[in-house]
């Protein structure tokens, strides 16, 4: 029997409340998640207080602000509970197929918020004052869920004791590259027992040969974007010394190493095929692709050997400039079909959907506090709200094969008020 969205939301929040410690945190948890899901242009603390407790906005504001900025609850435990609740709903439509690593920029006007500095911001498409966070999502063709989220702390922040203290950066946080943060998120998810999938990485992560090797050492397959200058042996050849790994720094350790671009230039015309794939609710998309087995270096799975992997290349329709080709390396099995390989590589679109909906529907970038704890608490609660919406969407049969609806309709009515909250009276 359908208990209704309000009852399902109450059950969901109560389950999250079981891992946040003190019972007096359950009310603010419920209210904050309610504020993120209800309609509203801004999902920062003050407007959410006005929506969830219009009769006592000031007191509600203080309650929510304390809960998110200084509350001593664990982001990891809440995210684990979100996964426990949401993954079964997602996998009713099919097993988890991929893990996706990426980062996103959150524009900021000031310079005091933790981790903020001029850096590339994908949301704006240029370098700008922003915070950048690395995330890991799990997905199938129907839905996706972020399971890890960590702020990238620039080196000037990590080494500035005064700024760290003002922002409450924990003592054990040191400077780490985005690729190192990504590996930690992957390792943690792998150890947690989440359903496994093929790891997808864009070239900012895929070009790191150490990251690729570490992923393989975990027993995970990957499809990783790479730059065309990555060195490898020509198809059908291999290293003269099997114990010699390729360092991908541009130095030709052996004379027969060539770049991925050179491999592609040598491919015959019949190597190129038009392949179709399905992306979200769009019509079938297609482009021209070629694939070939190559040896790049240690993949971490076969010590002392240099294993073969796929070099996949896309030649976009109407594009005559070879620099516009897209390159991937993949450790998926040799027997995988061409269409399956392309389809999996193209599933990275789901991370773009994650970011778009997290920002537009539940206010991921709307937090106005400056501290480390508040930044991560807000993101965790946004993911929790996103997870509930994903469960609600999963309960609605898709209109067609692999055609997920957008999270554009709030699961709670506009006039909803959290039950059990003294401040909502």
- For 329-367, how does the pLDDT look when each residue is reduced to its tens digit (9 = 90+)? 999 999 999 999 999 999 998 898 889 999 999 999 999
Residue 249, pLDDT above cutoff 50 = no
CA-CA-CA-CA dihedral for 65, 68, 70, 74, to nearest 10: 160
The band of 253, judged by pLDDT with boundaries at 50, 70 and 90, is low
- The number of helix segments (H) and strand segments (E) in the chain equals 14, 12
Q: What's the pLDDT score for residue 409?
A: 46
Q: Do 35 and 48 meet the contact criterion of CB atoms below 8 Å apart?
A: yes
196 vs 110 pLDDT, higher one = 196
Whole-Å CA distances, 371 to 36, 167, 365: 20, 4, 14
Calculate mean pLDDT across residues 213-230. Answer: 95
The residue count of the chain comes to: 425
Which pLDDT does position 252 carry in this prediction?
Answer: 45
pLDDT digits (tens, 9 = 90+) for 13-57: 999 999 998 888 999 999 999 999 998 889 999 999 999 999 999
pLDDT at residue 91, as a whole number: 95
The predicted model scores a pTM of 0.89
Task: Please determine, for residue 370, whether its predicted confidence score (pLDDT) is greater than 60.
Answer: yes
Q: What is the mean pLDDT of residues 207-233?
A: 94
pLDDT value, residue 416: 61
CA-based R_g, the chain, Å: 23
pLDDT of residue 300: 46
Q: Return the H-helix or E-strand segment holding 274.
A: strand 273-278
Least confident of 81-90, 95-104, 144-153, 353-362: 353-362
Helices within 168-298 (DSSP H only):
178-192, 203-206, 209-217, 260-265
Q: Region 231-247: what's the mean pLDDT? A: 70
Report the mean per-residue pLDDT for the chain.
87
pLDDT value of residue 402 = 44
Distance in Å from the first CA to the final CA of the chain? 30
Environment class of 335 (CB within 10 Å of its CB; exposed 0-12, middle 13-18, buried 19+): exposed
Whether the Cβ atoms of residue 328 and residue 222 lie closer than 8 Å to each other: no
Q: What is the DSSP string of 125-156?
A: TEEEEEEEEEEEEEE-SS-EEEEEEEE---HH
| 135 close to 348: Cβ distance less than 8 angstroms | no
């Amino acid at each position: 029997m359908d208990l209704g969205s309000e009852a399902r939301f109450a059950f969901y929040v109560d389950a999250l409340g079981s891992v946040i410690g003190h019972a007096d945190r359950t009310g603010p948890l419920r209210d904050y998640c309610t504020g993120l899901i209800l309609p509203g242009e801004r999902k920062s603390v003050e407007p959410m207080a006005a929506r969830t407790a219009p009769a006592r906005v000031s007191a509600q504001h203080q309650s929510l602000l304390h809960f998110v900025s200084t509350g001593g609850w664990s982001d990891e435990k809440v995210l684990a509970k979100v996964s426990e609740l949401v993954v079964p709903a997602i996998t009713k439509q099919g097993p988890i197929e991929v893990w996706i690593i990426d980062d996103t920029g959150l524009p900021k006007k000031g310079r005091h918020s933790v981790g903020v500095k001029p850096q590339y911001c994908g949301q704006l498409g240029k370098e700008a004052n922003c915070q950048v966070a690395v995330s890991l999502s799990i997905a199938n063709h129907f839905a996706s869920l972020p399971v890890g989220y960590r702020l990238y702390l620039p080196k000037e922040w990590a080494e500035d004791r005064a700024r760290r203290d003002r922002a409450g950066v924990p003592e054990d946080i040191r400077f780490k590259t985005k690729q190192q943060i990504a590996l930690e998120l992957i390792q943690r998810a792998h150890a947690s027992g989440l359903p496994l999938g093929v790891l997808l990485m864009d070239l900012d992560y895929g070009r790191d040969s150490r990251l690729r090797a570490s992923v393989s050492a975990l027993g995970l397959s990957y499809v990783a974007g790479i730059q065309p200058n990555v060195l490898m042996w020509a198809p059908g050849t291999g290293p003269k010394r099997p114990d010699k790994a390729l360092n991908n720094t541009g130095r030709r350790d052996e004379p027969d190493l060539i770049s991925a671009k050179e491999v592609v230039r040598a491919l015959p015309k019949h190597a190129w095929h038009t392949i179709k794939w399905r992306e979200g609710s769009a019509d079938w998309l297609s482009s021209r692709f070629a694939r070939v087995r190559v040896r790049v270096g240690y993949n971490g799975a076969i010590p002392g050997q240099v294993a073969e992997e796929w070099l996949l290349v896309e030649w976009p329709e109407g594009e005559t400039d070879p620099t516009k080709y897209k390159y991937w390396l993949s450790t998926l099995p040799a027997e995988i079909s061409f269409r399956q390989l392309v389809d999996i590589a193209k599933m990275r679109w789901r991370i773009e959907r994650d970011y778009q909906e997290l920002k537009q529907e539940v206010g991921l970038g709307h937090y106005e506090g400056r501290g480390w704890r508040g930044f991560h608490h807000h993101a965790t609660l946004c993911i929790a709200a996103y997870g509930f919406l994903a469960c609600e969407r999963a309960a609605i049969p898709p209109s067609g094969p692999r055609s997920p609806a957008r999270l554009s309709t709030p699961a709670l009515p506009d006039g909803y008020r959290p039950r059990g909250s003294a401040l909502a009276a």
